[in-house]
Amino acid sequence: SQTIHQWPATLVQPVGSPLSLECTVEGTSNPNLYWYRQAAGRGLQLLFYSVGIGQISSEVPQNLSASRPQDRQFILSSKKLLLSDSGFYLCAWSVLTGGAKGNTEAFFGQGTRLTVV
């Protein structure tokens, strides 16, 4: 069965420090991978998505970046964190499950609570 691992679960970082959040997926090949940020009152904001190794699409210009060094690994990074980067970060994956139009479903990790102080 497929599983998704996201770590760490919680993180407190000072302003200006770097960030690296990692997400790995097991049990599937060539998934679409996503990074979301969930902020109170703002729902789920899509930050980045990737359809293959080295392919990253950015949805929101900001001081975050993403990389996909391996098929099932997705990393969210920052060189210098801002206070506004605080939030709950979720990694997700999806694959087409067949059919003429496809029937993709996304599966989410448990999330990382980031507090920038």
Partner 1 sequence: GDSVTQMEGPVTLSEEAFLTINCTYTATGYPSLFWYVQYPGEGLQLLLKATKADDKGSNKGFEATYRKETTSFHLEKGSVQVSDSAVYFCALCDTGFQKLVFGTGTRLLVSP
Residues near partner 1 (CB under 8 A):
32, 34, 36, 41-46, 49, 51, 57, 59, 90, 92, 94, 96, 99, 101-106, 108-111
Nearer to partner 1, 41 or 61 (CB): 41
- Least gap, CB of 45 to partner 1 (angstroms): 8
Nearer to partner 1, 15 or 96 (CB): 96
Q: For residue 51, give the nearest of 104, 90, 108, 110 by alpha carbon.
A: 104
DSSP secondary structure of 44-107: EEEEEEEEETTEEEESS-SSEEEEEEETTEEEEEESS--GGG-EEEEEEEEE---SSS---EEE
- Least gap, CB of 43 to partner 1 (angstroms): 3
108: which strand partners? 92
Nearer to partner 1, 59 or 115 (CB): 59
Nearer to partner 1, 21 or 81 (CB): 21
Tell me whether strands 112-116 and 10-13 are parallel, antiparallel or unpaired.
parallel
- Least gap, CB of 48 to partner 1 (angstroms): 10
- Least gap, CB of 88 to partner 1 (angstroms): 11
Q: For residue 106, give the nearest of 53, 35, 21 by alpha carbon.
A: 35
